[in-house]
Chain A
Amino acid sequence: MSLDAVAREILNAAAEIGGETWVKIRKSAPIFVRAYAQSLLDIAAGVALGPKDGISKSDAKIFIQNARLLLIMGIANTNQILLVQAQKFIDRAIAAARAAVNKALPISLL
C-alpha cells in the first residue's frame, strides 16, 4: 500500500487512455496524482481506525470528493485544458484504476 503504487496505477491508466489530453497534462499530472494518492492513503488509514480515533465513512466520502476536485482543478489550471476535458479524462483514469487502487489501499475507498 505505498504511495508510489497507488499513484502509478492512476498514471498508468491515464497513459493507456492517452490522446491529446494526456499529451498536455502528462508532465504536471504526476505531482497532482501523487497528492491525490496521498490523500486516499491518509483517508483510508483514518477510516480503518474508525470514527472515534480516525475518520467516519460519511466524512471520508466528502473528503474523497474534495480530493478529486483538487486533482482535477490543479491539472486543469496548470495546463491549457478545459475543466470538462480534465474532469472526463481524470474520471476515466480513476475508473480504470479503481480496482487496483482499492487493492493498494488499506481499505477500499473508490
Chain B
Amino acid sequence: MIGSDLSVMGAPMATIWAGARLGLLLPIALFSACASLVAPYDATFDQSLNKLSEETARFLAAAESGGSERSFASEETVAYYATTYNVLDRLIERARLTRGSVPCATDRELAAFAGQPTSRTSLPEDYLKLDCREFQLYGVRLYANQLEYAHQTGGVLNRPEAKAQGGTLQAAIMAAILTFVANKPVS
C-alpha cells in the first residue's frame, strides 16, 4: 500500500520515489558504496511525528471544548506552535543531513503551497532537491502554518476551524509517517 520494499544484497530498501529516473539510478546506487538512493531508516522521525500527532490531538480537543487553547494569545497556544515548529525544524535539519540522492517527484508543488497566504515557511534554495522525507516534513510545516493562520484570523480557533484545519494537519502528519515507515527495514 505504501510502496514496494526491495531487499538487495541483504540491505533492505524501500522505494517511494516516482519517475523513470529510478530505473536508471537504481543499478548505479547498488554498486556504489558512496551513493545513497534513499536515506537509511531512522526511528526518530516516525516516533517524533507520532508524538506530534498526539500533542496536536490534545491541543485541538482542548481548543474545541472551549479551553484556553482556543485563544491565539494564550500561553498554551503560543507553546503549542513554538514546540511544533521547533520539532519540525529539527527533523527537517536531521533529514537534510541524510538526504537521499533522488529528489522527490512532488518537490515542485511546494513552491505553490509556500506561496499561499496561509504560509509562514520559507523553502530552501535547493527545494527541488529535497528527498520525499524532507518534502513531507515541509508539508507538515505548511499545514501547521494553515492551522495557525486560521487560529490567528479573528484571534480564536473556532470549532469548525479546529476540525477542518486540525484534521488536515493530522492527515499531513499521517502521510509523513507513512513515508518514513516505508523506509523501515523488513524484519
Contact = CB atoms under 8 A, between A and B. Distances in A.
A69 B4 CA distance: 23
Contacts, number: 122
B168 A59 contact: no
Residue among A28, A55, A73 with max Cβ neighbours from chain B (10 Å)? A73
Interface size bracket, A side = 35 or more
Interface in B128-176: 132, 135-136, 139, 142-143, 146, 150, 153-154, 158, 160-161, 163-165, 167-168, 171-172, 174-175
Interface in B21-63: 22
Do most interface residues of chain A lie in helix, strand or loop, or is the interface mixed?
helix
Contacts of A46: 158, 160-161, 163-164
A45 interface: yes
A42 B159 CA distance: 10
B67 interface: no
Nearest to B104: A77
Contacts of B13: none
Contacts of A62: 116-118, 146
A28 B168 contact: no
B-side interface mostly: helix
Interface residues of B, number: 45
A27 B4 CA distance: 12
B179 to A, nearest CB: 6
Contacts of A66: 113, 116, 118, 142-143, 146, 168
Contacts of B154: 52
B87 interface: no
B158 A80 contact: no
A46 B157 CA distance: 12
Given A35-B171, A66-B143, A77-B136, A42 B18 contact: no
Contact of B2 (A28, A42, A56): A28
Contacts of A63: 118, 146, 150, 164-165, 168
B172 A70 contact: yes
Interface of A: 27-28, 31-32, 35, 38-39, 42-43, 45-46, 49, 52-56, 59, 62-63, 65-67, 69-70, 72-74, 76-83, 85
26 contacts: A31-B1, A32-B171, A35-B171, A35-B174, A39-B167, A43-B160, A45-B160, A46-B161, A46-B163, A46-B164, A52-B154, A54-B160, A59-B153, A62-B117, A62-B118, A63-B164, A66-B118, A67-B168, A73-B139, A76-B105, A77-B106, A78-B175, A78-B178, A79-B18, A80-B16, A80-B22
